[in-house]
Amino acid sequence: MMTSLKMRDLARCLIAYEAVASKTSEPVESAILRVYGKLRQSLGVFAGVASFQSLAFRAFTQAKSEAPGLWAVQVDANGSLQGLGEPKPEQLEFEPQLGSGKDQASEGGVILIARLLGLLDMFLGEALTFSLLRNAWPGATFDDRVAENGRKS
C-alpha cells in the first residue's frame, strides 16, 4: 500500500514549515528530523514513549518498502530516529556529490513522516490528528495545509 497523496502533502507541508522556521539554509534532513522530533515529543506526552516508538517503528517498516533512501535509518527504543541521510557506501564511492542519494533520503523522510501521520489518521481520525498537530505546531494552520507551507497568513 502506497502512502496517500494527502499524507505526503501534509508531511511536505510540515517539513516546509520547519525549513522556513529555521531561517537558515540547512539540509532537508534537518527539517525532517525536526518534524519527527516534534511529533515524537507531542505524541510521547500524549501516549507515552512506548506507544510512540511502536507507531514510529510501524511507520518506518511501511516506509522502507517504498523508499530506498531509508536503508540506514533506525528507530531507537526511545523512539528517536538515527541514520537519516546517511549515504550508501557505494554512493560514497561512485557519487561523491551525493546528489541522487540526498534526494532519495529526503524523499524517504517525507514518506516516513507521511506514514506516521497516516497511522495517526487511521487510529485517531482526522480531527484528533490535527489537534495533535496544532499542539505541536501552534503557529501553523492546517485548514489549507497543502498551500502556503502551512503558515498562518
Partner 1 sequence: MNTQDKVTINKLSTGVPGLDEIVGGGLPEFSFNIIAGAPGSGKTTLAHQFVFANASPERPALYFTVLGESAIKMLRYQQQYTFFDPAKLPDSIRFINLSQVVLEKDLGAVLEEITKEVEKANPAVVVVDSFRTMVRKPGSDMELQSFIQRLALFLASWQATTFLIGEYAEDELRDNPIFTVADGLFWLRQTTERNSIVRKLQVIKLRGQDSVPGLHTFRITDAGVQAFSRTFGLTARKRNPPGGRRLCFGIPDLDKMLDGGVPEGDSILVAGSSGTGKSVLATQFVAEGISKGEPAIIAVFEERPEAYALRATNLGLDLETPQKDGKLTILYLRPLDLSVDETMQSILDAVTKIGAKRLVIDSLAGFEMALSPGFRADFRESLYRMIFALTGIGVTILSTVEVDESFTEFPFSTYSISFLCDDIIRMRYVSIDGQLRKIMVVIKMRGGNHAKEIREYEITSKGVVILGRALTNFQGLITGIPVHLDRSDLKEEPAQKPGIESKS
Q: Which residues bind partner 1 (CB under 8 A)?
A: 44-51, 55, 123-125, 127-128, 131-132, 134-135
What is the crossing angle of helices 28-47 and 99-136, to 10°? 30
Q: At closest approach, how far in Å is the CB of 145 from partner 1? A: 17
Question: Grid coordinates in use for 129?
Answer: 490528528
Q: Is 136 helix (H, G, I), strand (E, B) or coil?
A: helix
CA dist 26 and 44 (Å) reads: 26
Q: At closest approach, how far in Å is the CB of 95 from partner 1? A: 41
Q: Which amino acid is at 128?
A: L
All residues at 6 or more sequence positions from 94 whose CB lies less than 8 Å from its CB, including other chains: none
Residue 99 vs 125, nearer CB to partner 1: 125
Residue 10 vs 55, nearer CB to partner 1: 55
Residue 30 vs 54, nearer CB to partner 1: 54
Residue 1 vs 127, nearer CB to partner 1: 127
Q: At closest approach, how far in Å is the CB of 51 from partner 1? A: 5
Q: At closest approach, how far in Å is the CB of 41 from partner 1? A: 12
CA dist 1 and 65 (Å) reads: 10
Q: At closest approach, how far in Å is the CB of 122 from partner 1? A: 9
CA dist 109 and 53 (Å) reads: 16
Residue 48 vs 68, nearer CB to partner 1: 48
All residues at 6 or more sequence positions from 31 whose CB lies less than 8 Å from its CB, including other chains: 15, 16, 18, 19, 22
